[in-house]
Amino acid sequence: MIEIIDLHKKLGENDVLTGVNLSIKKGETLTIMGQSGCGKSVLLKHLVGILKPDKGTIKIDGIDIVNDKRIRLSDIRKKFGVLFQNSALFDSMTVWENIGFMLKEHKKLPDSKIKKIVTEKLALVGLKDIEDKSPHELSGGMQKRVALARAISMEPEIVLYDEPTTGLDPIMAEIINELIISLSKKLSITSVVVTHDIRSAYEISDRIAFLYGGKITQLGLKEDIKHTTDPKLRQFLDGSATGPIKL
């Protein structure tokens, strides 16, 4: 259970988040949609404590991760797997070292065991035989999938996906969609997905939230969102250049 309460964040001169309220239930897949630059990635970064809000707070399973001084953020973070928008693979490490990083750091597994798990995770994202490559030898889409394999390496309770299918071909995007669904069903992972890919959002989500003007303006089951009459969300979903959304 993730509760985001009245979250405010100003970055530079820009009021990015101006009172976000959102509860994400255990085991659900919630998709956050919104225009480019509206603060989706910034919002995700708050959930793992990489950014600190100016006002408001976040509770993970009832623990206030912003204000509670007794908790160690690193313990909370072990519950999470995070897929960064730009992959953020460690470029001084090989693919298997990247994916096995947390297994080595936190579980102290021997290399042979780690390599076995890495190969399994790579297979899940449709990759093989690239364990010893370095990230810069991979295409953008492959990097994204390696980063996804890394995010799920520790079988986290909560996975944050920042644009998991952007930059992938339609077939690979579909494979990733199915992977997100099966992870959430099989391991009852809580998934928070940021995406522009409306088709993918309809496919994977239980609920969809629309971030606009620094707030969640629409939130509902995907069927309800599909048939929304809110003019701004309608314009976004229909992808029309004219409408109430100011650019």
Partner 1 sequence: MFIFEWIGKKILNFLNNFGLITRFFLTALKWLFRKPFRWKILVEQMVKVGVETLPVALITSGFTGMIFVVQLYLALKSFGLEAAVPAGLALAVIRELAPVLAGLVMAGRVGAAMAAELGSMRVTSQIDALKTMAVDPIHYLVTPRIFATVVMMTAITTITDFTGIFGGYVVGTVAFDLNPYQFYQDVINILEPWDIISSMIKGAVFGFFISTISCYMGFNSKGGAEGVGEATTNAVVTSMIVLLIVDYLLNLILW
| Interface with partner 1: number of residues (CB under 8 A) | 21
- 11 sits near partner 1 (criterion: CB under 8 A): no
Hey, which residues between 102 and 141 contact partner 1 (CB under 8 A)? 102, 105-106
Taking the CA atoms of residue 56, residue 62, residue 68 and residue 70 in that order, the dihedral angle to the nearest 10 degrees is -170
- If the CB atoms of residues 80 and 212 are measured against ligand ATP, the closer one turns out to be 212
Site string for Mg ion, 36-75 (x = CB under 5 A): -----x----------------------------------
- 75 sits near partner 1 (criterion: CB under 8 A): yes
Hey, which residues between 71 and 130 contact Mg ion (CB under 5 A)? 85
Hey, which residues between 86 and 145 contact ligand ATP (CB under 6 A)? none
- 85 sits near ligand ATP (criterion: CB under 6 A): yes
Which tokens hold the place of 138? 């991979």
- Other Cβ atoms less than 10 A from the Cβ of 63: the count is 12
- 89 sits near partner 1 (criterion: CB under 8 A): yes
- If the CB atoms of residues 85 and 119 are measured against Mg ion, the closer one turns out to be 85
| Residues that bind partner 1 in the complex, under the rule CB under 8 A | 45, 48-50, 74-75, 77-78, 80, 82, 84, 86, 88-92, 101-102, 105-106
| Residues that bind ligand ATP in the complex, under the rule CB under 6 A | 11-12, 14, 16, 34, 36-42, 85
